[in-house]
Chains A and B, each alone.
Chain A
Amino acid sequence: MDWIDHLRPLVALLYLAVSALFIAGMLGRRAGLKRAASILAAAGFSLHTLGIIARVAAEGGAALSHMPFYLSLLSWALLLTFFIVRRAMHMEFLALTAAPLALILFLASLAFTAKVVLPTALVGPFFALHIGSLFASIALLTMAFGAGAWFINLEKRIKTKEKLSGFQQDMPSLSALDAANHWAVVLGFPLYTLGLLAGFVWGWFTWGRTLQWNFLTIAPVAIWLCYAYLFHQRLAAGWRGRKPAALAMFVFVLCLVMLGMNFLLPTHHSVTP
C-alpha cells in the first residue's frame, strides 16, 4: 500500500495550508482565502477518508492494532464534526480551533508507530463504541472550547463597552455561541459517558479488570465528574453564558492533557513503542 503512504504527507500539507488560510482569512477578513481554505479542507478530508478506508480494506483488523491510526482517526472525527457544526450553526470561525488541532493530531499520527492490544471478537462492538463515542465527544468539546473562548471575549467587550474591530465584527452572536456550547454539552456528555463505559467493558473482557488505581485511569473519571457537573448545571440549574463556556473550556483542556499523557506515557493507550 505504497500509495497510502504517499497520501499522508499530502494530507498533512493540505491541513497545514487549511490552517494557515483559515487563520489569515479570518483575521484579515478575506472571503477569498476562507473559500480557498474550505476547498482545500474538503480535498484534504476526502483524501484522509480515502486513506482510512484503504488502510482498513488492505489490513483489515490489523489496521486497528496501530495506535497512531487512532490519532489520525481523531483528527478525521474533529474535521467531520467541524463540517457538521459549520453547516448546522454557521460557525466557520471554529476552524480556528478545529483545523490546527486536526493538523497536530494528524502529524502526531505520522510520527508514532506503537501497537495496541486488540479486543477479542466478542467485545469488538464495545471497542468500536469506546472509540467512536469518545472521539465524537472530544470533537464536540473542541467546538465548545472555540465557541466558549470567543463567547468570553465577546461578552467582555460588550459588558465593558469596547469597540468590536476588524474580524471581531464577523463573529456569531453571543446567543449563537451559547447554543454551540449547549449542543456540545448536551450531545457530548452522553457520548463521553457511553465511551467511558464501553472502555471499561472492553477492559474487563480484555484484561479482566476495569479500574486500575493509577492517575491515567482515574483522570477520565475525574473529567467525567466535571463534565457531569457542567451537564447538570446547564440543563437543570439553567446555567447559560460565561460560566458553562468557561467550564467547557476547562473540561476540554483536561481532556487534552489526559489524551497527551495517555498517548505519550507507557499505558495501554500509548503511541510510543
Chain B
Amino acid sequence: MPHETDIYLIGLNHKTAGVEVRETFALAACNTMELGLVTDAGPVREALTLSTCNRVEMLAVVDRSEDAAERLMAFWAKHCEGDLERLRPHVYVHQGLDAVRHLFSVAASLDSLVVGEPQILGQLKEAYRDAVEHGSARVIVNRLLHKAFSVAKRVRTETGIASSAVSISYAAVELAKKIFGDMRDYTAMLIGAGEMAELAAAHLVNSGIREILVANRTFERAEELARRFKGRPIVFEELFRRLPEVDIIISSTGAPTAVIRARDVKPVLKQRKNRPMFFIDIAVPRDVDPDVNALDNVYLYDIDDLKEVVEENLAQRREEAVKAEAIIEAETGRFGEWLDSLALTPTIKDLLAKGEDVACRELEKTLKRLGPDTPEETRKALEFLVSSMVRKLYHEPITFLRRRAMEEGVSRKYIDLARRMFNLDEEAAPEDAHAERRSNVVPLGRTAAGGNGTGDNGEDAACGHTE
C-alpha cells in the first residue's frame, strides 16, 4: 500500500523575517528534483518553491511523519548554505488544509505587503512552471496550483480587492484619466527624476500618452530618461518655454523652493487657450506653488494629496479582503473534499454511482418512449440490462485501479486520472496556467508594474516589488 501523504507549506515572508534573512534564504532557481529532495521513493513526492523579495516558501507533498517539516527546513538551510538555527525562528509551517488555505491567500494576494497587488500571481505561475519543467509537480501540486489560480481569479472578479490604485504614481495617472480621458492626445513633461516620477511616467506611457518631455538639470540624465520612455529631452532652462505644449507635468526636483508659481502658469494658460493642465508634484519640499490649484482649468496634486487617495483605496481593499477570505474558505473546503476522494474506495463508489446515474436516466427516457403499457417484465429486464452493463463496463477500469493501488507511488496518479477521465468531480477543465505570461510595454525598474497600480509604495520601494 502507498504511504499516507500530507501537504506541507513552510516559508517566511515580510512579516516574519527581515530583508537580510529573506536574502540569505532565497530559493531562486531551486530544482528540487535535481537536488534530490523530490524522489519517486519519497518521503518528499512533490515540491514547488516560490521565491520573491518579500516571500520565500516551499510547498511539498510529503509522506506523513513527525519530522516532515524539519526535513524540508534542513534541506532549505543547506541549499542556501545558511544556518538552520538562524532560519528556524522565522519560518511558519502549515500542514494539510492550512497549507491549502495559505497558498490560496498568497495567490489571491491577501497575504501580500500591498493587499490585492497583482504581481504575486505571476510569480506563483512562474514558480509552478519551473516545478512542472523540473518534474517536481505531480497530481496534488498540479491540482492545488490550478485551483489556486482559479481562486485568485474568482477573488479578483468577485471582490473589489484590486479595483483601485494603491500606489502614488498610479493614483496620479488615474486622476489624469479623470481629467483628460483618452491619453493619446496629450503630452506629459517630467521635471527632475526620481523613482516615483519615473514610475508615473511609465504608467503614463502604458496608458498611451502621446509624448513625454524630460527636463533635468543634468542634461545627460534627461537624455537617458527620454531614451527609456521614447521621449524628448529638453534643457532645464527651456522648461517654461515648453510649458504651453504640455498637459501633464510631473515634478520631482530637489529644489529648496517652488519652481513653478501661479504667476508663471497664468500666461501659459492664455497661450494654451485655457486647455487644462495637471500638475503632479511629488517633490518634498514642493516644486509647484499651491496657488496654482486656484487657477481655472489647472489641477494640482502634491504627494500628500496622492497619499490620501492611496490610503482611502487601501482601506477599501482591506474591507474587500473579508469577502475574499470567505471565498478562500469555501474553496479550501472543496479542495479538501477532492483530497479525500483520492483514496481508492471513494473513487470506485463515485465511478459506479456515475455510471448508474447515466444508466437510470437513459432507462427512464426509454421507458417513457415505450409508453405506460410496457409490461412489468420488460421493465425489470431493461433495468437488469442497464445495471449489469454499467458493472461490466466499469469492471476493467476498476480492476486496473486496484492493481495500480498496490504499487508504490503511482496510485494517486491513476486515481486522479480516472477521476478526471470520467469527470467524477463534475467540474470544468482547469484553466491553462501556462497561457498567461505577463508582459509590459515599458519596463518598470526590476519589476513589471501591474495594471492596477502597485509597485512603488514607500514601504516596498527598497525591493522594487510588492511581492
Chain A interface residues (CB < 8 Å from chain B): 154, 158-159, 161, 163-164, 172-176, 238-243
Contact = CB atoms under 8 A, between A and B. Distances in A.
Contacts of A164: 178
B297 interface: yes
A85 B212 CA distance: 32
Contacts of B312: 163
A122 to B, nearest CB: 46
A175 B309 CA distance: 22
13 contacts: A158-B299, A159-B293, A159-B299, A163-B312, A173-B181, A173-B182, A174-B178, A174-B179, A175-B180, A176-B181, A240-B276, A241-B296, A242-B297
B392 interface: no
Contacts of B309: 161, 163
Contact of A240 (B177, B275, B299): B275
Contacts of A240: 273-276, 297
Nearest to A161: B305
B344 interface: no
Nearest to A179: B181
Nearest to A241: B297
B296 A243 contact: yes
Contact of B274 (A172, A174, A241): A241
B273 to A, nearest CB: 4
Given A158-B175, A163-B309, A241-B297, 10 more contacts: A158-B179, A161-B308, A163-B312, A173-B178, A173-B180, A173-B182, A176-B181, A239-B274, A240-B297, A241-B296
Interface in B272-286: 273-276
A195 B273 CA distance: 31
B291 to A, nearest CB: 13
B178 A158 contact: yes
A175 B276 contact: yes
Contacts, number: 47
A145 B104 CA distance: 50
Nearest to B180: A175
Nearest to B312: A163
B308 A173 contact: no
B281 to A, nearest CB: 13
Interface string B293-310: 100110101000100110
Interface in B282-333: 293, 296-297, 299, 301, 305, 308-309, 312
Contact of A238 (B180, B273, B299): B273
A172 B180 CA distance: 9
B276 A174 contact: yes
Contacts of A154: 178
A1 B309 CA distance: 61
Nearest to A173: B181
Contacts of A239: 274
Given A161-B305, A238-B274, A175 B179 contact: yes
A242 B296 contact: yes
Contacts of B305: 161
Task: Tell me which of A163, A175, A242 has the highest count of chain B C-beta atoms within 10 A of its own C-beta.
Answer: A175
A100 to B, nearest CB: 26
A46 to B, nearest CB: 32
A46 B180 CA distance: 35
A165 to B, nearest CB: 9
A239 B312 CA distance: 34
B250 to A, nearest CB: 17
A172 B175 contact: no
Q: Which of B175, B270, B274 has the most CB of A within 10 A?
A: B274
A262 B358 CA distance: 75
Contacts of B274: 238-241
A161 B297 CA distance: 15
A158 B299 CA distance: 7
10 A-B pairs closest in CB distance: A173-B181, A238-B273, A240-B274, A241-B297, A176-B181, A161-B305, A174-B179, A175-B181, A175-B180, A238-B274
A174 B276 CA distance: 9
Nearest to B302: A161
B175 to A, nearest CB: 7
Nearest to B163: A169
A173 B309 CA distance: 18
Contacts of A172: 181
A106 B305 CA distance: 47
A164 B275 CA distance: 23
A243 B276 CA distance: 13
A173 to B, nearest CB: 3
A18 B127 CA distance: 52
Nearest to A154: B178
A238 B296 CA distance: 12
